[in-house]
Amino acid sequence: MLRDDISFELDSSIISWRTAALINDGKRILLQRKINDASLAPIGGRVKVGETFEKALRREIKEEINLNLKIDRLLFVIENFAVIDSKRYQEISFIYNIIIDNKEFKYYQDMFVIDGIEFVWVKISDLYSNKISLKPEILNTLTNLFPNDIVHLINNDS
C-alpha cells in the first residue's frame, strides 16, 4: 500500500500535517488515546497528499469511528514542536468543531475501544478544571475550547 500521508523526514526532523476534531454533544467531548496513555487528544490523523484538511478529517473520522460528520467550523491552527526519542517533530494541526446528535452516533457509552485506541467522552467542565491532560499540551492552557474566531497557537514540548 502506498503511504501518501504528508509526513516526511528532513535532516533529523519529522514534518507533518494533522487534522483533528473536538467532537461534542454540547456537554461532553469525545477524545482518544492509546491504551495506557495518560493524555487524551482530539480525534483525527494525518492529511494525505491532495487532500484538504477537512476532507482528511472526514476520512479519518469515518475510518476510526465510522461516523459521517458535518464540520461546524475551524477552531485552532496549531504549530506543534516536540522531541520524541531524540527526533524533532514539527507538525501543523487544524482542529475543527463537530457537533453531533446522540441519535446519529452508535458509540455513546462513556468509553469504548476500537483497534487498540481508547475513545473517551469527557465532560467539557472537566477540561477547564485541569482534571484531564490534553495533547497537544497548549490545549490545557485555554479557557475557551470553542472560540468565536480561529485561534493560532504555538505548542513547544521540546
What's the pLDDT at 101? Answer: 67
pLDDT tens across 117-126, in order?
999 999 999 9
Residue tagged 516526511 (cell numbers)? 8
| Residue 1 pLDDT > 60 | no
Give pTM, 2 decimals. 0.92
Question: Across the chain, what does the average pLDDT equal?
Answer: 90
Residue tagged 479519518 (cell numbers)? 60
Question: Distance from CA of residue 13 to its chain's centroid?
Answer: 21
Bridge partners, 118 (sequence order): 33, 113
What confidence category does residue 103 fall into, taking pLDDT thresholds of 50, 70 and 90? low
pLDDT tens across 3-19, in order?
799 999 988 899 999 99
pLDDT more than 90, % of the chain = 66
3-class secondary-structure state, position 124: helix
Q: Which three cell numbers stand for residue 25?
A: 454533544
Cα separation, 21 vs 72, in Å, equals 10
What are the angstrom distances between the C-alpha of 140 and each of 11, 41, 47, 145?
31, 11, 24, 9
Q: How many CB atoms lie within 10 A of CB 58?
A: 20
What lies within 8 Å, CB to CB, of 43 at 6+ separation is 20, 21, 23, 30, 31, 32, 60, 61, 64, 65, 119
CATH superfamily placement of domain 7-156? Nucleoside Triphosphate Pyrophosphohydrolase (3.90.79.10)
* Residue 34 DSSP one-character state: E
* Torsions phi, psi for 137 (to 5 deg): -60, -25
- What is the mean predicted confidence (pLDDT) over 89-114? 83
What's the pLDDT at 104? Answer: 61
